[in-house]
Structure 1
Amino acid sequence: MATATTWAQDIITCDLNCDKPVQQFCNSCQVGLCEDCINKHVKGLKSMKHDIVPFTKRTVQLVFPQCTSHSHQRCEGHCQQCDVPVCMKCVMSSQHKGHDIVDMADIITAKKERIKRETEEIEGDIISKNKKQDSDVEKISTCTAHFSGLIKKGKDQRKQWHLEVDDIFDHLDTLTQSLRDYQITALKSYQSQLRSQNSSMIQTVEENKEILKSNNVSDVNNYKSKLTEFRNIPQVPDVTLPSLKTNTIQGRELSLELEEYKAKLTQSTLSSLTDEASNVSITELLKEAKVITNISANIEPLYKVACAGSDRAWINGTDKMLRCVDIYGTVTDSVTSTCMDFPGDITVNRQGELIYSDAANRTVNIVRHGKIETLITTPRGWHP
Structure 2
Amino acid sequence: MMATPSSWAQHGITCDFCDNPNQKFCNICQVSLCLDCVSKHVEKFKSLSHDIVPFIKRKIKLVFPDCEIHPNERCEAHCKKCDVPVCLKCILGPHNGHKYEDMSEIFNKKKKDIEKETQEIESNIISQYEKQNEETENELSIAITKFDEMAKEKEKHRKFWHQEVDTIFNKLGSLLNAMKENHLAVLKSHQSKVKNRIPDMTQRVQQNKEIIKSKNVSAVTNYESKLGEYRNMPADIDVKMPSLKTKTVQGSELSLELEEYKATLQQISLSGLADDVYKSPIRKLLDKVSVIATIPTEVNPLFHVACVGVDEAWVSGEDKTIRRVDIHGSVRDTATTTCIWPNGITVTRQGELVYSDGRNRTVNIVRHGRTETLITAPRDWKPDRLCCTKSGEILVSMGTTDDNQNKIVRYQGHTVKQE
TM (norm. structure 1) is 0.73
Measure the CA separation in 2 of the matches of 1:139 and 1:37: 55
Measure the CA separation in 2 of the matches of 1:171 and 1:336: 25
Measure the CA separation in 2 of the matches of 1:348 and 1:79: 79
2:100 alignment counterpart: 101
Find out whether 1:32 has 2:29 as its counterpart. no
What is the root-mean-square deviation of aligned Cα atoms in Å? Answer: 4.0
Contact 1:347-1:354 within 8 A present in 2 as well: no
Q: Secondary structure at the match of 1:127?
A: helix
Structure 2 portions without partners, runs of 5+? 1-8, 272-284, 316-321, 356-362, 374-419
Structure (1 or 2) with the larger CA radius of gyration: 2
2:58 alignment counterpart: 58
> Alpha-carbon deviations, 1:330-380, whole Å to 9, x = none?
99xx746478xxxx89976133637499xxxxxx99776xx533347xxxx
Q: Return closer, same or farther for 1:136/1:351 CA change in 2, 3 Å cut-off.
A: same
Measure the CA separation in 2 of the matches of 1:289 and 1:312: 19
Contact 2:107-2:220 within 8 A present in 1 as well: yes
> Alpha-carbon deviations, 1:194-253, whole Å to 9, x = none?
211111111111111111111112222221211111112223332212222223345543
Measure the CA separation in 2 of the matches of 1:147 and 1:114: 48
* Paired positions, count: 337
> Alpha-carbon deviations, 1:21-52, whole Å to 9, x = none?
43332211112234555454334333322233
1:324 alignment counterpart: 326
1:161 alignment counterpart: 161
2:16 alignment counterpart: 15
**Mapping of residues 10-159 of structure 1, within 5 Å:** 12-17=13-18, 19=20, 21-35=21-35, 37-94=37-94, 96-137=95-136, 138-159=138-159
Higher helix fraction: Structure 1 or Structure 2?
1
Q: Secondary structure at the match of 1:238?
A: coil
Amino acid at match of 2:111: K
Contact 1:65-1:75 within 8 A present in 2 as well: yes
Measure the CA separation in 2 of the matches of 1:374 and 1:174: 32
Instruction: Name which of structure 1's ranges 346-355 and 120-129 shifts more when overlaid on structure 2.
Output: 346-355
Q: Secondary structure at the match of 2:369?
A: strand
Measure the CA separation in 1 of the matches of 2:88 and 2:365: 82
Q: Return closer, same or farther for 1:375/1:288 CA change in 2, 3 Å cut-off.
A: farther
**Mapping of residues 180-219 of structure 1, within 5 Å:** 180-219=180-219
Measure the CA separation in 2 of the matches of 1:50 and 1:240: 67
Q: Return closer, same or farther for 1:72/1:28 CA change in 2, 3 Å cut-off.
A: same
Amino acid at match of 1:117: K
Contact 1:321-1:337 within 8 A present in 2 as well: yes
Q: Secondary structure at the match of 1:247?
A: strand
Structure 1 portions without partners, runs of 5+? 1-7, 272-284, 358-363, 377-384
Contact 2:27-2:51 within 8 A present in 1 as well: yes
2:349 alignment counterpart: 351
TM superposition shift of 1:288:
4.2
Q: Secondary structure at the match of 1:41?
A: helix
Q: Return closer, same or farther for 1:130/1:301 CA change in 2, 3 Å cut-off.
A: farther
